[in-house]
Amino acid sequence: MSEPHMSVPSPALLDVSGLARHFPVRGFLNRRVGTLRALDDVSFSVRKGEVLGIVGESGCGKSTLGKTLMGIHEPTQGEVHLAGTRIASPGQKRAAAVRAQLQYVYQDPGASLDPRWTLRRSLHEPLIIHTGWSRAKREEHVQAIVKAVGLPQAHLDLYPHEISGGQQRRVGLARILVLGPQLIIFDEPTSGLDVSVQATVLALFRDLRREFDLTYLFISHDLAVVRSICDRVVVMYLGRIVEIGQTAEVFSAPRHPYTRSLLAAAPRIGGPRVTENFTLQGEPPDPSNVPSGCRFRTRCPLAIQACAETEPQVEFEHDHGIACLRWREQAA
Amino acid sequence: MSALLDISKLSLAFRTEKGPARVLDMIDLAVKPGEIVGLVGESGCGKTTLARAILGTLPEGLTEIGSGHIRLDGVDMLRGGKAAESIRGRVVTFVPQDPFASFNPLFRIGTQIADLMRWKAPRPEGRRWGGHRRADEDAAIAMLDAVQLPQPRAILAKYPHELSGGQRQRVMIAMALLPQPQLIIADEPTTALDVTVQAQILGLLRRLAVERGVSVLFTTHDLGAAWEICDRVVVMYAGQTAEIAPREAFFANPRHPYTRMLLDSLPEPGRDPVGIPGGVPSPLTPPGGCRFNPRCPRVTEICRETRPALAEHEGGHLVACHHPVTADAEALYV
């Protein structure tokens, strides 16, 4: 579970400031007819060794955030620093060395194995690209990693179709770990899994983090999973951060009305039926046409006139940040 | 009260190149009028096959019915022929998992609803053609209003791609209710939706079903959703019924080791979730006896030899296990 947070805060490994990513919306004859603001003014930092969760509904920009950090998208505004080095800003070309330190895990890491390659070849490939190691040294390293993810050595000569889906997932993770990354971004790693499998996958993530001293950015829409694995959590809505803080604090005392609705919507076994008094109506608006002021105001039960005029900034109390004009009066 | 849907000792196999895949093995299930029953299990345990068997939409040439029957409102859905045909879409309707793939993208929502009503909606005057368009449209608009879609008339003129996922699922529920069915089979209706939308849709489905006295058979792999909506929960494992219990008893006091482990796999704050080692066995070569025996921590010799019968414990709590977990039993694992 979570490590104690009271100890000396470790320095930020990843620092994101004012990050924005806009996509052009094109109409007839490829003319630009609008802007999809997938990500706007997102700032946070990830400390070394922590697991930061990013939650939100589909279309809130959480995957765009992951991909922008990864360098798949170039930011429209803002900067990203990894261990003190600027790795992304508008117009910046990413150095190849950064790729080894930052890894991205898709929904099913096993699916990205080449079916015509033996597992050994798949695991050697990243080392061939990123290091100048001899074959023997690479093999030694690969064997150590394979052991760490809990696969038998004999499996290295097999092809992906010869092993089970769970083992493929382990190989996919091993492939990510061979380069010794500092930060791993997981994008919806448990969606579509049965709970019985999900539990083993989460336990594997947890063990690997301990063993390789990793830092995770965990993007998910599953609140229960985020709650069980993350130290801190960022809640996003329509491309903006609405709340950020320690997982325990955000889940036990959510302050933003959106976070409250999100938590209220998740069924709790043993609790009352949430559907009987669930108040949040409608669905998030189209991100190419966001509401003025606070983006949540069209669905917010607390919205007032000022919400349409002022865009709330993230305000911090200790390390719990909330972007809402009315949170102070609600808290009082 | 007699059961609306009565399935007993149903065994069913698909013909494959490698021999028969025994997908359903002696399934027992009953749904009473007005009841919401959750059908829970991992993927590959036969939930969808059972739903399709009830609807009578299994691939004809490939399906071998071993034993048992499915009776819906007194009609045998497996061998019913014309009678089953007249029930399907009227007495029993279907809400699919994927609202994105279930509309024809080329026709407006209104056209698709009108087509449904022409064939399946009850006709008070007994005439099939002509003179109904007006009444149909009014009924459709009233129903879209009941599923809380804003501006129902405008929705009728839209194409499916113009609606969001939640709106499409609302239209699907409206279409399932329009023929005034007695049973709705909802096959994972909220897995493709976000939690806030899921809460709205589940609440809507439950309220409409209760108001209209419609029974719902709700298949899901999400135990939280089952807790939200069901009156009774049925657990399936690899084509066998493992446990049937009222909602409260099911979640508070699960008896089958599989159910217990499934509930313990849910992530919860303060404890590490425990998975279930191994996977669902292939229906081509199912293990003998209880199909859960290769993964079960309480397995003994008898589990490999004899299939446990579904036995009633207390208060309608049925378990198919030789060694059920008792209320005060210690945890299965350390």
B202, B276, B277: residue with CB nearest A275:
B202
Please tell me which of A3-17, A82-96, B264-278 the model is most confident about, judged by mean pLDDT: A82-96
- Under the banding of pLDDT at 50, 70 and 90, the label for residue A8 is very low
Q: In this predicted structure, what is the pLDDT of residue A183?
A: 94
Q: Break chain B into its structural domains and give their ranges.
A: 1-91+183-288+300-329, 97-180
Distance from CA of B193 to the nearest CA of A (A): 9
Percent of chain B with pLDDT over 90: 34
Least confident of A63-72, A311-320, B191-200, B234-243: B191-200
Distance from CA of B220 to the nearest CA of A (A): 11
What would the pLDDT profile of A201-225 be if each residue is shown by its tens digit?
Answer: 888 899 999 999 999 999 998 888 9
Inter-chain residue contact B262 with A195, CB threshold 8 Å: yes
What would the pLDDT profile of B94-114 be if each residue is shown by its tens digit?
Answer: 998 877 788 999 999 999 999
Q: What is the DSSP letter of B200?
A: H
CA B267 from chain center: how many Å? 24
Taking contacts as CB-CB distances below 8 angstroms, the residues of chain A near B165 are 283
Query: How many cross-chain Cβ pairs, A to B, lie less than 8 Å apart?
Result: 122
Distance CA B243, CA B45 (A): 13
Q: In this predicted structure, what is the pLDDT of residue A2?
A: 44
**Whether pLDDT at A4 is above 80:** no
Inter-chain residue contact B272 with A203, CB threshold 8 Å: yes
Taking contacts as CB-CB distances below 8 angstroms, the residues of chain A near B203 are 275-276, 278
- Chain A interface, best mutation among B195, B201, B258, B296, by max A CB count within 10 A: B195
Report the chain A residue with the minimal C-alpha distance to residue B249: A270
Q: In this predicted structure, what is the pLDDT of residue B92?
A: 92
Q: In this predicted structure, what is the pLDDT of residue A174?
A: 92
CB of A164 closer than 8 Å to CB of B233: no
Q: In this predicted structure, what is the pLDDT of residue A9?
A: 52
Taking contacts as CB-CB distances below 8 angstroms, the residues of chain B near A264 are 199
Q: In this predicted structure, what is the pLDDT of residue B127?
A: 54
* Nearest alpha carbon to residue B109 among B124, B95, B99, B94: B99
Taking contacts as CB-CB distances below 8 angstroms, the residues of chain A near B221 are 194-195
Strand ranges across the sheet with A102-105: A102-105, A183-187, A215-220, A51-55, A232-237, A240-246, A320-322, A315-317
Rounded mean pLDDT, A64-70: 91
Inter-chain residue contact A266 with B195, CB threshold 8 Å: yes
Which fold does the domain B1-91+183-288+300-329 belong to in CATH? Rossmann fold (3.40.50)
Taking contacts as CB-CB distances below 8 angstroms, the residues of chain B near A194 are 42-43, 221
- Chain B interface, best mutation among A191, A195, A197, by max B CB count within 10 A: A195
Instruction: State chain B's mean pLDDT as an integer.
Output: 86
Q: What is the DSSP string of A45-66?
A: EEETT-EEEEE--TTSSHHHHH
Distance CA A146, CA A153 (A): 7
What does pTM read for this prediction? Answer: 0.85
Inter-chain residue contact A198 with B265, CB threshold 8 Å: yes
Distance CA B101, CA B112 (A): 14
Please state, as a whole number, how many other Cβ atoms lie within 10 Å of the Cβ of residue B178: 21
Report the chain A residue with the minimal C-alpha distance to residue B273: A199
Least confident of B104-118, B220-234, B259-273: B259-273
Distance CA B165, CA B162 (A): 10
What would the pLDDT profile of B170-205 be if each residue is shown by its tens digit?
Answer: 999 999 999 899 999 999 888 878 888 888 889 888
The packing angle between helices A135-148 and A119-130, to 10°, is 120
Rounded mean pLDDT, A256-262: 92
CA A17 from chain center: how many Å? 16
Inter-chain residue contact B275 with A197, CB threshold 8 Å: yes
- Under the banding of pLDDT at 50, 70 and 90, the label for residue A328 is confident
What would the pLDDT profile of A20-47 be if each residue is shown by its tens digit?
Answer: 999 998 888 888 888 888 999 999 999 9
What would the pLDDT profile of B49-89 be if each residue is shown by its tens digit?
Answer: 999 889 888 888 888 888 888 998 888 888 777 888 888 88
CB of B284 closer than 8 Å to CB of B18: yes
Inter-chain residue contact B223 with A275, CB threshold 8 Å: no
Rounded mean pLDDT, B125-145: 76
* Distance between start and end Cα atoms, chain A: 32
Structure tokens at A48: 């070394």
Rounded mean pLDDT, A270-289: 78
B42, B164, B199: residue with CB nearest A274:
B199
What would the pLDDT profile of A97-145 be if each residue is shown by its tens digit?
Answer: 888 899 998 888 888 899 999 999 999 999 999 888 999 999 999 999 9
Q: In this predicted structure, what is the pLDDT of residue A3?
A: 45
**b/e map A295-323, b = 16+ CB within 10 Å:** bbbbbbebbeeebeeebbebeeeeebbbb
What are the angstrom distances between the C-alpha of B157 and each of A195, B151, B152, B162?
A: 40, 11, 9, 10
- Chain A interface, best mutation among B43, B228, B231, B256, by max A CB count within 10 A: B228
Rounded mean pLDDT, B210-222: 91
* Nearest alpha carbon to residue B185 among B173, B195, B194: B173
Instruction: State chain A's mean pLDDT as an integer.
Output: 88
Report the chain B residue with the minimal C-alpha distance to residue A262: B196
Inter-chain residue contact B224 with A269, CB threshold 8 Å: yes
Please tell me which of A176-180, A270-274, B196-200 the model is most confident about, judged by mean pLDDT: A176-180
Percent of chain A with pLDDT over 90: 48
Contacts 24+ apart (CB under 8 A), B272-278: B272/A1, B272/A202, B272/A203, B272/A206, B272/A228, B273/A195, B273/A198, B273/A199, B273/A202, B273/A203, B273/A228, B274/A199, B274/B333, B275/A196, B275/A197, B275/A198, B275/A199, B275/A200, B275/A201, B275/A203, B276/A196, B276/A199, B277/A200
Between A137 and A196, the more confident residue is A137
Rounded mean pLDDT, A218-240: 92
Distance CA B27, CA B42 (A): 16
Rounded mean pLDDT, A88-105: 86
ipTM over 0.90: no
A166, A228, A265: residue with CB nearest B199:
A265
Q: In this predicted structure, what is the pLDDT of residue A185?
A: 94
**Whether pLDDT at A16 is above 70:** yes
**Whether pLDDT at B334 is above 50:** no
**Whether pLDDT at A305 is above 70:** yes
Distance CA A290, CA A287 (A): 5
- Chain A interface, best mutation among B196, B237, B260, B261, by max A CB count within 10 A: B196
- Under the banding of pLDDT at 50, 70 and 90, the label for residue A242 is very high
